[in-house]
Amino acid sequence: MPGIGPRTAQRLALHLLRQPEEQIRSFADALLAARTEVGHCQTCHHLSAEPTCEICRNPERANGQICVVADSRDLLALERTREFSGHYHVLGGLISPMDGIGPDLLQISSLVKRVAANNTEEVILALTPSVEGDTTSLYVARLLKPFTRVSRIAYGLPVGSELEYADDVTLSRALEGRRSME
Amino acid sequence: MPGIGPRTAQRLALHLLRQPEEQIRSFADALLAARTEVGHCQTCHHLSAEPTCEICRNPERANGQICVVADSRDLLALERTREFSGHYHVLGGLISPMDGIGPDLLQISSLVKRVAANNTEEVILALTPSVEGDTTSLYVARLLKPFTRVSRIAYGLPVGSELEYADDVTLSRALEGRRSME
């Protein structure tokens, strides 16, 4: 399992062996239930125990905005900020020819169908600032442009950082992405 | 001296004592020369041995843009990116009422005079994303707006970072500062 080396694994195993059998049984049941019951939302492909996830079911979140993320972890990070109140779309990864991941393996065509069928005012691409993220952003933006306004989150200096210690690429992006002060 | 603790200080002192006297004499002279000869550029207040610094003297850099930074270290960081080919203005710090640093202690009025007197097309504020940086940006932008276009560098996700690990404030800024994809 990720982040668990041989020593931690041994400590966890010995701890489990010391617990009452009843507790281990309910733990095993919970694991199995999680695996069998949690699937993906039919609309946005976020993790969900129901066919449609809580966010997609919430009528207050239908504000015409769809935020596109690579996976459910990114969605949860954005939810923590409480800054975004629209819907999401989880691609399930990023386009990466080196790893054999083409657009067909991602939830891109379902996104285009969704945007074309609904009254989507804006699609916000929230993908990581990397070669794969940029490639995916450009690809998705080109497909969506006939149907809606497309924007992407800002790349630049993180809050609390020092200009002096920023890497050159980030600094270049921050200069290039400068905004007019209203 | 910053970054030098008692142990390093002792190691450096003992090393110096082992060098030939002539070498120490020229080292001492160089230190004194640096201290007496390096002053500030009259125009942009960057460190300079001449009354006007190399960047201000370079006619090819007169492109109508002035990039405003807090101090010379930030200017050097931006120079390393080779992304900016205009002039600079070094404020000498940021407005910080908590530390008793008001606008009068910084090179703000000289910036306004410089912008008003020259044909400045754009002023780019490259200050750190912090309370002091934001305060200074807003203050300077208000003063400059009658004379020129004012922009600030982008705040958001640094290049190569993961959305999942970004702090909430940076993520909020990245969402808020999203850009339309052309």
Q: What is the mean pLDDT of residues B3-7?
A: 91
Statement to judge: residues A95 and A27 lie in one domain: no
Distance from CA of A180 to the nearest CA of B (A): 4
Tell me if B1 is assigned to some domain.
Answer: no
**Cβ of residue A143 closer than 8 Å to a chain B Cβ:** no
**Cβ of residue B177 closer than 8 Å to a chain A Cβ:** yes
Instruction: Kindly tell me the burial class for residue A15, based on how many C-beta atoms sit within 10 Å of its own C-beta (0-12, 13-18, 19 or more).
Output: exposed
Angle at B85 between CA B82 and CA B89, to 5 degrees: 105
The first and second tokens of residue B17, run together, are 């004592």
Q: What is the mean pLDDT of residues A170-180?
A: 89
pLDDT band at B165 (very low <50, low <70, confident <90, very high): confident
Burial A147-172 (b: 16+ CB within 10 A, else e): ebebbbbbbbbbbebebbebeeebbb
**Cβ of residue A121 closer than 8 Å to a chain B Cβ:** no
Query: Is the Cα dihedral A15, A18, A20, A21 positive or negative?
Result: positive
Provide CB contacts within 8 A for A56, sequence distance 6+: A41, A43, A44, A46, A87
Domain range spanning residue B12? Answer: 6-37
Tell me if B106 is assigned to some domain.
Answer: yes
| DSSP-assigned letter for residue A157 | B
Closest CB to A149 among B84, B158, B180: B180
Q: Do A169 and B156 touch (CB under 8 A)?
A: no
pLDDT band at A180 (very low <50, low <70, confident <90, very high): confident
pTM reported for the whole predicted model: 0.79
Q: Given this model, what pLDDT does residue A2 score? A: 85
Burial A71-95 (b: 16+ CB within 10 A, else e): bbebbebbeebeebebbbbbbbebb
Contact present, A157 and A172 (Cβ < 8 Å): no
Residue A105 scores a pLDDT above 90: yes
Number of domains in chain B: 2
* Residue in the structure block whose two tokens are 């008003």: B116
User: What percent of chain B has a predicted confidence (pLDDT) above 70?
Assistant: 100
Statement to judge: residues A15 and A59 lie in one domain: no
Statement to judge: residues A17 and A95 lie in one domain: no
Statement to judge: residues B25 and B62 lie in one domain: no
Statement to judge: residues A145 and A87 lie in one domain: yes
Contact present, B89 and B67 (Cβ < 8 Å): yes
Q: Do A174 and B153 touch (CB under 8 A)?
A: yes
Taking the C-alpha atoms of residue A4 and residue A76, their distance in angstroms, rounded to an integer, is 23
Q: Given this model, what pLDDT does residue B179 score? A: 87
Tell me if B150 is assigned to some domain.
Answer: yes
Tell me if B137 is assigned to some domain.
Answer: yes
Q: Pairing mode, if any, of strands B65-69 and B122-125?
A: parallel
pLDDT band at A161 (very low <50, low <70, confident <90, very high): confident
Tell me if A61 is assigned to some domain.
Answer: yes
Residue B182 scores a pLDDT above 80: no
Closest CB to B159 among A138, A165, A170: A170
Tell me if A167 is assigned to some domain.
Answer: yes
pLDDT tens digits, B56-87: 999 999 889 999 999 999 999 999 999 899 99
Q: Given this model, what pLDDT does residue B1 score? A: 83
User: What percent of chain B has a predicted confidence (pLDDT) above 90?
Assistant: 77
Statement to judge: residues B26 and B51 lie in one domain: no
Q: Which of B152, B164, B179 to mutate to test the interface with A (most CBs of A within 10 A)?
A: B164
Q: Which helix (H) or strand (E) holds A18?
A: helix A6-18
Q: Do A74 and B164 touch (CB under 8 A)?
A: yes
* Residue in the structure block whose two tokens are 């690990």: B165
Residue with more model confidence, A182 or B150? B150
Q: Given this model, what pLDDT does residue B160 score? A: 85
Statement to judge: residues B110 and B166 lie in one domain: yes
Residue A182 scores a pLDDT above 80: no
Closest CB to B163 among A126, A151, A176: A126
Taking the C-alpha atoms of residue A124 and residue B153, their distance in angstroms, rounded to an integer, is 20
